[in-house]
Structures are given as structure tokens and as C-alpha cells.
Amino acid sequence: MKIVLPVAGNGMRLRPYTEDLPKCLLPVAGKPIIDWIVEDSQDLKPEETIFITGYKAEQMDEYLTRKPEWGKTRTVRQENPQGLGEAISLALPFVDDGEPLLIILGDTLFEADLSILKREKENVLYTFRVEDPSRFGVAVTNAQGKIERLEEKPQKFVSDEAIVGIYFIRDVRALKDALAEIMKNDRRTKGEFQLTDALQMMIEAGCKFHTAPVQKWLDCGLVETLLDTNAYVISRNDNSSEFSAHSVKGPCHIGKNVTLINSRIGPNVAVGDNCVLKNCKIKNAILWDGVRISGGTIENTIVHR
């Protein structure tokens, strides 16, 4: 199996934080977003993980040199981004027709069972049941759970299974052909080459797809949702009890070599490594590595370097 992680986006909605880092390297609960995604997929033992980079690509290249535990990795540059379909097409020359492919969007965290893919014989789209399907692309399934079609932001109810950005492809040759046809004919949706258009072509050509459930879908696209995601992930990885001698109210993540002086931290705070916090109150916040704060109250925000 090979895994493709598109991480080329410029993260405009997360400025000014993405002026320093690409979105996938923004910290959540003590680790970059991309770390949580890759670590969730490591049990699949991929032959190679391919990162589609673009904005601040050099930083991603450098970061991967510090991750030998991720095994064989490769970066492919998307110089002039024209949609997710184009991004995936750039990785496909490095994927053999007969080997399975897992695509995971590099800016969304999730809780899902990926281990089922080790024995999966069909194409799979992971979905999450939502209250307002009109905001999402959805998978329309039949009584047997097979996907009949994909529909973007339906105004009338057809399905509540939102497509979350985890795509398992067995029919790699069919995906290659569909994307090649889309781009050859300049078939765009909202000005871009869309992966979902290629998947719909595969379904119409007879490729079998079914859904698999995501138990939790966590957005990292806005400051508010990034803070919500941070709070949730911290609640599952709380280390505040290690700092009982200090005024730390969990759940929190406190990084390495952090100095706490007369400060009240928490709840829902992620403090990066090598921070110095003196005479301050902080809650529901993300502090990057090396932040120094003396005095004041920090709440509902991100403090970067």
C-alpha cells in the first residue's frame, strides 16, 4: 500500500499563523497536525508515503528529514494548484496499478478504524453522519451499503453521509484513467479539477465503492475550530497530572522544558516545548514552542513565535 497526503494548501483562513508554517505543521495538542495523521496510518505499514507539497514546500521537505520513523517518504511539488484531482494525479506515477492507495487530506483529524483496509477488496470512502448535509459532499448508498453516486452540497436530502477526505482506492488504474480524462478535457468544477468528479466517473464505469464510518471528524480550518480540535485531542492525551505541583488544571498538554512561575494554566491549553510562563493565566489556547509570556491573561487564542 501507498499513502498520499495532499498538503499543498496555503491556509489563508489561518493567517497569520500560516505565514510562518504550512498548515499541516501547525501544532495541535503538542504535535503538528500532520504527525497525528501519519501516526494513525502507520499500522498499515505503507511501502511509501507521498506528500503533495506546494506552499512553503521547503519546510515540509526539511521536516521529513527529522522523521526517519515514518519510513520511506517522498514529496511531489504542486507548483500551480488547480484542485485536489490535479494534486492526486501528480502522485499517481509513483503508484503501481495493482497496489492499493490510501488518500488522506493533510489538514483534518479523525477517529476511524483504518485497520479494516488491510483486508479490503473494494474501494472505500470514509464518511461521517452530519445534521446538515447541504454543507458537504455526500455519498448516496443503496440498501446494501454500496455507493451509487456522490453529490456535492445537496439542497434536497439524499444522504447524511458526508465525505471526510479519507479515500481507499483498489482500482488505481481506473482512477488514473478518470483523472487523465478530466484534465485532458479540461473538465473543472468551481474552476478546479476535483477528485470527487473522478470518483463519480469510476462509479459510473462500474467500480465498486462502499462507505466506512468515521467516529469523530475534527476540523482544523479556522482558529476557532483549531482550538476546538486542540481541546478534544488534549482530552484524549492529557498530561496535566504530571504537573500537580503547579497550578495546572487539566486537560492540558505541557511540553518539554517548560518553566511555570506563579501561573495558572488550563483547561484546554497546549504549551509547546521550551516555553516560559510567568505571572499569567492561560486557558483554551495553543502556545507554540519557545513562547515567553510574563503577566496578563491569554484565552481563546493561538500564541505563535
Tens-digit pLDDT profile for the chain (305 aa)?
999 999 998 888 899 999 989 999 999 999 999 999 999 999 999 999 999 999 999 999 999 999 999 999 999 999 888 899 999 999 999 999 999 999 999 888 999 999 999 999 999 999 999 989 888 899 999 988 899 999 988 888 999 999 999 999 999 999 999 999 999 999 998 888 999 999 999 999 999 999 999 999 998 888 999 999 999 999 998 998 887 667 899 899 999 999 999 999 999 999 999 999 999 999 999 999 999 999 999 999 999 87
Residue corresponding to grid cell 447524511 = 160
Sign, CA torsion 238/235/166/287: negative
Contact present, 268 and 232 (Cβ < 8 Å): no
pTM comes to 0.92
Q: Go through the chain and tell me how many residues it has.
A: 305
Distance CA 237, CA 140 (A): 35
DSSP label at residue 244: T
Classify each residue of 216-241 as buried b or exposed e, where b means 16 or more C-beta atoms within 10 Å of its C-beta. Answer: ebbebeebeebbbbbbbbbeeebbbe
Among the listed residues 101, 5, 119, the one whose alpha carbon sits nearest the alpha carbon of residue 46? 101
**Are 240 and 256 a contacting pair, CB within 8 Å?**
no
Hunting for cell 488550563 — which residue is that? 266
Identify the bridge partners of residue 287 per DSSP, sorted by sequence position: 271, 303
What gap in Å lies between CA 40 and CA 265, rounded to an integer?
A: 29
Look-up: residue for cell 505503507? 46
